[in-house]
Chains A and B, each alone.
Chain A
Amino acid sequence: MKIIVAIKQVPERDAPLRIASDAKGIEERELQWAMNEPDAYALEEALQLKEKHGGEVVIVSAGPERVGATIREALAKGADRGIHIVADDLAARDALGVAQLLAAAVKPESPDLVLTGLQSEDLGLGQTGVILAELLNLPHASLILQVEISSADSPQAQIKAKRELEEGWFQSIEMPTPAVLTIQSGGNKLRYATLMGIKRAKTKELRTLDATSLGAAAAPVAVLDKITLPQKKKSTQIIPGAAKEAAATLVEKLKSEARVL
């Protein structure tokens, strides 16, 4: 079966963040980039399905030139080939605008399954996969932890996926292929990058597509106007008072301030 994994490149988790002077983005100089971790879980699921059923894993990612490194990383972990949608204007597109690019690149591939991570670590929109399904007119399910495929080689291949619900509940969802699934982190153990993988990846196909060739971008509906620093800084509040008093204060703060109770 052919599985497409849509992957996003995001700033490294540890990266020091500086807001750009126009307050509409972050300073990209000195920033280091990495594969969005939820997408790494989607890739892992795809690789495991391929190991079980055979077929091909294709990576699709949109963004400027630097994104090539992240696609290479995915190839090093075992994906078969990559499609790089070269686009320098991602920040100017909203979730729909980005998904339109991906859909345009995915459609001609006629995949059996499209996987994405549940959400991105930078914008955290958590919508790309679902929008992609809508644009491709495919059934979808989100928050998927495990995927099983029956009669993988036939056109009647069926998906049975374990979906996470809230508060420790799960459910299983069945649907026909082709379909789109967004993968929840933690369902699989990720594999680490290896020297052998990196060397093998050098010879794998990485095709570039120019974003402008995939149709004009629609005017964004949701516009990021300004980036600010959150008010609250994490610092330790030492709660004073005798045991009883301190305990009462703590419970109140956990309820109203931290809102974890």
Chain B
Amino acid sequence: MTLPLPTLAEPDHFSLGEKLLFAALAAASLASFLRRFAPIVSRILHAKKDADFHLFPLGRRIWDFFWEVLCQAKVIRQRPLPGLAHALVFWAFCAFVVVTLNHCALVFGSGFLAPASAPGRAYSYFAALFALACAAGILGLFVRRFFLRPRWFGKDLSWESGLIALLIFALMVTYLAAFFAHGPLAVRSLWWAHTLTLLLFLPIIPHTKHLHLVLSPVTIFLSRGGFSRIPLLHGDEDFGLVAGKDLTQIAALQAYSCVECGRCTEHCPANNTGKTLNPKDVVLGLRAYLNALGPASEEPLLGRYNAQEAVFQCTTCGACEFQCPVGIEHLPLIVGLRRGAVNTGAWEDAHGAKFFLALEKGSNALGLPASEREKFIEKNALPLFDGTQEYCLWLGCMGGYDPRGREIVLALVKVLRYLKVSFGVLRKEKCTGDPVRRLGNDLLFQQLAESNLETLTSSKTKKIISICPHCVRTIQEDWKEFGLPPAVEHHSEFLARHLGVLKGHDFSRAESSQEGRVLQVPSLGPGKAQPSSEQKEETEKVVFHDPCYLGRYRNIYDEPRAVVSLAGELVEAPRHKERSFCCGAGGGLAFLGEEKGQRVSHARAAELAATGASVVAAACPFCNTMFRDALAAQGPGAPELVDIAQLAARGLPQNPASNQTENASA
């Protein structure tokens, strides 16, 4: 071998004393690790079983593990630079598994990666590359944490993070230095330095957030799956997360997996507007509870370790859960804590109680008489659904009662009539239960869901279209507990599918064959909307606000943008698509009175207005109602606020001849 590259130097033998010392230290290190780790595992295992947990099918789990753990996809995607630095450290650790095994085996003379051998040499260089990357990465993370200090790390510097960074750095340096070591003493010293660092590192893991090294791969693999999936309540004594005894194994596992990276905090609309809620603290509060009281405790979870006020500030926008790199499912936890408080009556809130009472007696979340909805239907001659039409147009509370929501419905009706799609509205409709579901009122939710399911079943509804992403989500996912809901889609999906006919305003061709009507959604990259330039010399700039319940909850991003691009030039807000920032209405908060701190809607409206767009397009009546006041507060020159249905309806003729015939074919 004539390569000029240095070779990794290893001690070639160890004295009995060294062997004994190593064995003793290793045993102590391992014992110290287990002394702390075993109780954690025990607490997790002694927690309540997850009643609705199924290991199979494994496909999703394997994929999640591959993508999120091995590829570090979420870590990198949400924070590219620090994410990459973390990934380098992680991959280096993977590469070092073999190195470390060999390192320890050496003591007993059974090293299997002789640096002089071809595979040993190759692997040592492979590992060295990772070691270099890892050292650079950890240095970068160190600088970020101790010098750049992002807000979500909190005010206090975490010295344990510094120590860990130092140890990781030392591990890498002691390994790399061995390539350049001369003389047996230096080689031996480096080996011991590396070993001691390692043995010191091991017991620190369960003492710190670096527990995630061990737990988060398991957490990700075992996650319950589905976004913001609210678990079933089991038996007569399950009211949600009331006390420690209600925390399930997976909830406990997640609580111990938190790495305190603060991604959830960074994106939380409540936390960003000066409220008490910090999703990270919710998780850490549960961990502190488990540490102090264990999983069998009867002490309420809301109290010493988590504030009731905080969990009721959540808009359930899901940004936290979406971003979490270690597989924590925040929404089932937060909604679970709310359920625990509401299902037992512990939550006493004047607005909340009034809201629940109104829905106990009435039909809609706004507390208005149902006759108001009937008047609206009558006045606008909306056809009643009789089972023969293609779509049941679900009005929802906002569409049925809110003047702005009604405008959206009427715009959609105009489009439906133009497209000659047959539809009808239900004579009787109740709130889907979305806000009470998210607020944790299972009794009321069940009553509403069952009542609606009965209406839909008896009216033979097959397909629902709705202007409200909250209704869509609740009908499709949450009602499943109580029956089989009909297919449901959001109007953005419908409009995007019929874009071909709506595009171009060339209505003479609208009467053409049926085939011409259905077009696939053009795929649009982020920020690359293509306005159809031939019709519009001067295009308006339109910024689209992704509703949480359409984007993160339903994974619909391109469809509404395609509709927007009909009317103008799409521009993007800094936070868009899966990182969209909530309007503040979700989670029942639209009905809970004035917020503490800055209004979420104002923060978002300012961001949307700052894009310079002259139009804000929304696709959710709740976002719409929140932004109405918030945009007005931006002062004169604030952008116009419309729903995408209104954009789609704008170019259509006022009274198309086809207006009256929508039922003729049915």
Contacts and interface: CB of A to CB of B under 8 A. Distances in A.
Given A189-B350, A192-B353, A196-B343, A12 B443 contact: no
Nearest to A197: B345
B239 A196 contact: yes
A156 interface: no
A199 interface: yes
Given A192-B345, A194-B344, A195-B239, A14 B356 contact: no
A193 interface: yes
B357 interface: yes
* Contact residues of B: prevailing secondary structure: helix
A39 B433 CA distance: 26
Contacts of A193: 356, 360, 443-444
A13 B372 CA distance: 13
Contact of A194 (B343, B350, B352, B371): B343
B353 A189 contact: yes
Given A14-B370, A196-B343, A191 B353 contact: yes
A215 B344 CA distance: 41
A255 B357 CA distance: 35
A64 B457 CA distance: 29
B357 A190 contact: yes
Nearest to B353: A192
Contacts of A197: 345
Contact of A192 (B236, B371, B441): B441
B345 A13 contact: no
B357 A14 contact: no
Nearest to B345: A194
Interface string A173-202: 000000000000000011111111111000
A34 B239 CA distance: 25
Contacts of A190: 353, 357
Contacts of A194: 342-345, 441, 443
Which of A13, A192, A197, A198 is most buried by chain B, counting CB atoms within 10 A of its CB? A192
Interface string B361-395: 11100000111000000000000000000000000
Nearest to A202: B236
Contacts of A191: 345, 353
Chain A interface SS verdict (over half): loop
Contacts of B370: 14, 16
B246 interface: no
A194 to B, nearest CB: 4
B443 A34 contact: no
Interface string A76-89: 00000000000000
B10 interface: no
Q: Which of A16, A37, A191, A195 counts the most chain B CB atoms within 10 A?
A: A195
B442 interface: yes
Contacts of B342: 192, 194
A23 B69 CA distance: 72
Contacts of B239: 195-196
A196 B345 contact: yes
Nearest to B441: A192
Nearest to A37: B361
A37 B236 CA distance: 29
Contacts of B348: 189
Nearest to A192: B356
B353 A14 contact: no
A54 B350 CA distance: 25
| Residue of A14, A37, A197 with highest tally of chain B CB at under 10 A | A14
A189 B442 CA distance: 21
Given A192-B441, A199-B236, A12 B343 contact: no
Given A13-B369, A14-B362, A195 B442 contact: yes
A37 B360 CA distance: 11
A190 B356 CA distance: 10
A189 B353 CA distance: 8
Nearest to A121: B361
Nearest to B436: A192
Given A189-B350, A192-B356, A196-B345, A14 B363 contact: yes
Interface in B336-351: 342-345, 348, 350
Contacts of B371: 14, 16
A13 B444 CA distance: 17
Interface in A87-103: none
A191 B348 CA distance: 8
Interface string A12-54: 1110100000000000000000100100000000000000000
B363 A195 contact: no
A252 B356 CA distance: 41
A196 B240 CA distance: 10
B86 to A, nearest CB: 42
Contacts of B344: 194-196
A189 B361 CA distance: 16
Nearest to A198: B443
Contact of A195 (B343, B352, B361, B369): B343
Contacts of B357: 190, 192
B454 to A, nearest CB: 12
A34 B345 contact: no
Nearest to B428: A16
A37 to B, nearest CB: 8
Contacts of B345: 191-192, 194, 196-197
B256 to A, nearest CB: 29
Contacts of A12: 361-362
Interface in A121-160: none
B353 A195 contact: no
Interface string B215-251: 0000000000000000001001001000000000000
Given A192-B345, A197-B345, A14 B369 contact: yes
A189 B236 CA distance: 28
B361 A14 contact: yes
A37 B361 CA distance: 9
Given A194-B344, A196-B344, A199-B236, A13 B353 contact: no
A34 B360 CA distance: 9
Interface in B268-290: none
A96 B193 CA distance: 96
Contacts of A13: 361-362, 369
A12 B363 CA distance: 10
A14 B371 CA distance: 7
A13 B371 CA distance: 11
A13 B343 CA distance: 25
B264 to A, nearest CB: 28
Contacts of B360: 34, 192-193
Given A14-B363, A192-B352, 8 more contacts: A12-B361, A189-B353, A192-B345, A194-B342, A194-B343, A194-B443, A195-B343, A197-B345
Interface of A: 12-14, 16, 34, 37, 189-199
Closest 9 CB pairs of A and B: A192-B356, A195-B343, A14-B370, A195-B443, A194-B345, A196-B344, A195-B442, A14-B362, A192-B353
21 contacts: A13-B361, A13-B362, A16-B371, A34-B360, A34-B361, A190-B353, A190-B357, A192-B342, A192-B345, A192-B352, A192-B356, A193-B443, A194-B342, A194-B343, A194-B345, A194-B441, A195-B239, A195-B343, A195-B344, A195-B441, A196-B344
